[in-house]
Amino acid sequence: MAIFINENTRVIVQGITGKQGQFHTSQMITYGTKIVAGVSPGKGGQQVENIPVYDSVFMALEEQPADAGILFVPASFAKEAAFEGIDAGLKLLVCITEHIPLHDAAKIMSFAQKRGTTVVGPNTFGIISSGKCKIGIMPNQFYVPGNIGVVSRSGTLSYEIVGNLLGAGMGTSTVVGMGGDRIVGLDFVEVLKEFEKDPQTEVIVMVGEIGGTSEEEAANFIKDNISKPVVAYLAG
């Protein structure tokens, strides 16, 4: 099992022709992710890693049905790109972009909620169901299938923890990056709910940071709702 994404998830990359978009598209394909299309306005008809590029998400979905999207776009264009993906019907949107203006981020979350789209981030390293699908920028070599679910606000700390787990002979079920900006989509509680329901996940690791109340809210939720062991680390 996996949460949010699996081996059948079909992914669109918005901003695929940029340097970061090209590099991480290659890495996701190498991991086994089904990248079916890229979007870059004005560059429709090109290809990146043999993936067709379209001028809009709507045009891409007409020829390449997809469930999820990942954004590699500048902060000033992130709201427009996110709205396009949500409006086109993508059910999961991973927003790598950081420093999105707060008003833009709030509008993205409001629109996503109305349309039933799950947003991961912004300022996230993404989400990966080990051995099945990666939608993000995490290093491929650390993620092997196992029974530990990880949810983290920090990218680098999550890499270190997952790397240490791997060194100890342990793997992960799904790893979720909540994102480091002030306004994000998925929060600890939403991810904890999914891990609790996931039969593959037997242990949960939470990585928090100072600032905000999400860690306290998660702790209160865990007391009454999570039956699985939870190991939490709060940085800072």
Share of the chain above pLDDT 70, in %: 100
DSSP 8-class letter at 123: S
pLDDT, tens only, 97-122: 999 999 999 999 999 999 999 999 99
Residues 183-196: tens digit of each pLDDT:
999 999 999 999 99
> For the domain that residue 223 is a member of, what is the CATH number?
3.40.50.261
- Classify 17 as helix, strand or coil: coil
Strands 34-39 and 10-14: parallel
Residue 183 lies in domain: 126-235
Question: How many structural domains comprise the chain?
Answer: 2
Boundary-marking domain end, from 103, 120, 137: 120
pLDDT in tens, 40-93: 999 999 999 999 999 999 999 999 999 999 999 999 999 999 999 999 999 999
Q: Are residues 132 and 95 in the same domain?
A: no
Residues 171 and 93 in one domain: no
pTM of structure: 0.97
d(CA 202, CA 197): 10
What is the pLDDT, as a whole number, of residue 211?
A: 86
The answer on 14 and 103 residing in a single domain is yes
Q: Tell me, yes or no, whether 130 lies in a domain.
A: yes
Omega cis (within 30) before 122: yes
Mean pLDDT to the nearest integer, 7-33: 99
Of 78, 87, 28, nearest to 184 by C-alpha is 78
Task: Verify that 67 and 153 share a domain, yes or no.
Answer: no
**Overall size of the chain counted in residues:** 236
Verify that 101 and 136 share a domain, yes or no. Answer: no
List residues bridging with 222 in a β-sheet: none
Closest CA to 213 of 193, 187, 175, 178: 187
